[in-house]
A and B are shown apart, each in its own frame.
Chain A
Amino acid sequence: MASTAVIGWFADIGLDDRPHVGGKGGSLGELQRAGIAVPPGFVVKTGAFERFIRALECHSPVRLRVAALSGEDLAATMACCAEIRARVEAEELPAEVLDEVSAAHTALCGGDSQTPVAVRSSATTEDAVDASFAGLQDTYLWVTNLIQTLQRVRACWASLYSVESVTYRRRRGLPEESVAMAVVVQKMVNARTAGVMFTRSPITGDRSVLTVEGSWGLGSAVVGGEVTPDRWVLGKVAGEISVREISEKLVQHVPIATGGIETVAVAENQRRAPCMSDEELQALRAVARKVERHYGRPQDIEWAVEQRTNSILLLQSRPETVWSAKESIPVARPAENPLTHVMSIFGGKR
Chain B
Amino acid sequence: MSTPVTPRGFPLPSSLKVVPGTERAQAAYPYYMQFDETDDKRFWFYNSMHFPEPMSAFDMVTAEAAYCALGSSNTRVHSLPTTLGIDYRIINGRVYIGGNAVTDPTEIARRTEEFQKRAFYYYANWERLYAQWRQKMMQLIRDAQALPKLELPEFEPLAHVHAGRGVASNHYLLETYQKTLEGYFRMWHHHFEFLLLGYGAYLTFFGFCKKAFPEITDQTIARMVAGIEAEIFRPDDELRRLARRAVELGVDEKFQQQVSANDIIRTLQQLGEPGRAWLEELEISRDPWFNINVGDGFYHYHRAWNDDLSMPFACLPEYIRRVKSGESLERPIERLQAERQELIEGYRELLNTDEDRAAYDQMIALAHRVFPYVEGHKFYCEHWYTNLFFNKIREFGALLSAHGFFPGTEDVFQLTRYELEMAIIDLMTSWSNGSAPRGPSHWAKIVAERRAAIAEWAKHVTPPALGPVPDVIDDPAIVMLWGITRESLNTWLAADSGTDSNEVRGFAASSGVAEGPARIVKSADEISRLKQGDILVCQITNPTWAPIFQTIVAAVSDIGGSMSHAAIVAREYGLPAVVGTGNATARIKDGQRIRVDGGRGVVTILE
Cα-based distance from A201 to B216 in the complex (angstroms) = 11
Chain B 106-144, CB-CB to A under 8 Å as 1, else 0, gives 001000100110011001100000000000000000000
B352 partner residues in chain A, CB cutoff 8 A: 207, 327-328, 330
Chain A interface helix/strand/loop/mixed: loop
A308 at interface, CB cutoff 8 A: no
Asked whether, in the complex, the Cβ of B80 is within 8 Å of the Cβ of A346, the reply is: yes
Asked whether, in the complex, the Cβ of B599 is within 8 Å of the Cβ of A242, the reply is: yes
Cα-based distance from A204 to B347 in the complex (angstroms) = 16
Cα-based distance from A201 to B215 in the complex (angstroms) = 8
Partner-binding segment picked from B89-97, B199-207, B374-382, B443-451: B199-207
B193 at interface, CB cutoff 8 A: no
Asked whether, in the complex, the Cβ of A348 is within 8 Å of the Cβ of B474, the reply is: yes
Q: What residue in chain A is nearest B211 (Cβ atoms)? A: A331
Partner-binding segment picked from B54-62, B358-366, B525-533: B358-366
Asked whether, in the complex, the Cβ of A339 is within 8 Å of the Cβ of B207, the reply is: no
B353 partner residues in chain A, CB cutoff 8 A: 327-328, 330
Also in contact, A341 and B346, with CB within 8 A (given A206-B215, A346-B115): no
- Residues of B within 8 Å of A, CB-based: how many? 58
Partner-binding segment picked from A65-73, A164-172, A231-239: A231-239
A232-258 CB contacts (< 8 Å) to partner B: 233, 235-238, 240-244
Cα-based distance from A205 to B350 in the complex (angstroms) = 12
Cα-based distance from A241 to B343 in the complex (angstroms) = 15
B212 at interface, CB cutoff 8 A: yes
Q: What residue in chain A is nearest B203 (Cβ atoms)? A: A345
Cα-based distance from A244 to B81 in the complex (angstroms) = 42
Asked whether, in the complex, the Cβ of B215 is within 8 Å of the Cβ of A208, the reply is: yes
A347 at interface, CB cutoff 8 A: yes
B359 partner residues in chain A, CB cutoff 8 A: 330-335, 341
Q: What residue in chain A is nearest B217 (Cβ atoms)? A: A242
A206 partner residues in chain B, CB cutoff 8 A: 213-216
A291-350 CB contacts (< 8 Å) to partner B: 327-328, 330-335, 337-339, 341-348, 350
Also in contact, A338 and B365, with CB within 8 A (given A241-B511, A330-B355, A331-B212): yes
B470-515 CB contacts (< 8 Å) to partner A: 474, 476, 480, 508, 511-513
B177-230 CB contacts (< 8 Å) to partner A: 197, 200-201, 203-204, 207-208, 211-217, 219-220, 223
Q: What residue in chain A is nearest B474 (Cβ atoms)? A: A348
New contact pairs (14) apart from A242-B215, A338-B366, A348-B82, CB-CB < 8 Å = A206-B214, A236-B346, A237-B343, A237-B347, A241-B512, A241-B599, A332-B356, A341-B204, A341-B359, A342-B200, A344-B207, A345-B200, A347-B81, A347-B82
B360 partner residues in chain A, CB cutoff 8 A: 332
Also in contact, A342 and B201, with CB within 8 A (given A240-B217, A240-B220): yes
B597 at interface, CB cutoff 8 A: yes
Asked whether, in the complex, the Cβ of B200 is within 8 Å of the Cβ of A346, the reply is: yes
Asked whether, in the complex, the Cβ of B474 is within 8 Å of the Cβ of A350, the reply is: yes
Nearest CB in chain B: distance from A197 CB, A: 15
Chain A 145-184, CB-CB to B under 8 Å as 1, else 0, gives 0000000000000000000000000000000000000000
Cα-based distance from A212 to B360 in the complex (angstroms) = 28
A81 at interface, CB cutoff 8 A: no
Also in contact, A343 and B355, with CB within 8 A (given A207-B213, A237-B350, A242-B217): no
B50 partner residues in chain A, CB cutoff 8 A: none
* B residues with CB within 8 A of A: 80-82, 102, 108, 112, 115-116, 119-120, 123-124, 197, 200-201, 203-204, 207-208, 211-217, 219-220, 223, 339, 342-343, 346-347, 350-353, 355-356, 358-363, 365-366, 474, 476, 480, 508, 511-513, 597, 599-600
B124 partner residues in chain A, CB cutoff 8 A: 339
Q: What residue in chain A is nearest B354 (Cβ atoms)? A: A330
B358 partner residues in chain A, CB cutoff 8 A: 333-334
Nearest CB in chain A: distance from B335 CB, A: 13
Find A208's partner among B115, B350, B597 (CB 8 Å cutoff): B350
Asked whether, in the complex, the Cβ of A209 is within 8 Å of the Cβ of B355, the reply is: no
Chain A 187-222, CB-CB to B under 8 Å as 1, else 0, gives 000000000000001011111110000000000000
Asked whether, in the complex, the Cβ of A334 is within 8 Å of the Cβ of B355, the reply is: yes
Cα-based distance from A347 to B113 in the complex (angstroms) = 11
Cα-based distance from A149 to B363 in the complex (angstroms) = 58
A348 partner residues in chain B, CB cutoff 8 A: 81-82, 102, 108, 474, 476
Nearest CB in chain A: distance from B397 CB, A: 42
Asked whether, in the complex, the Cβ of B599 is within 8 Å of the Cβ of A342, the reply is: no
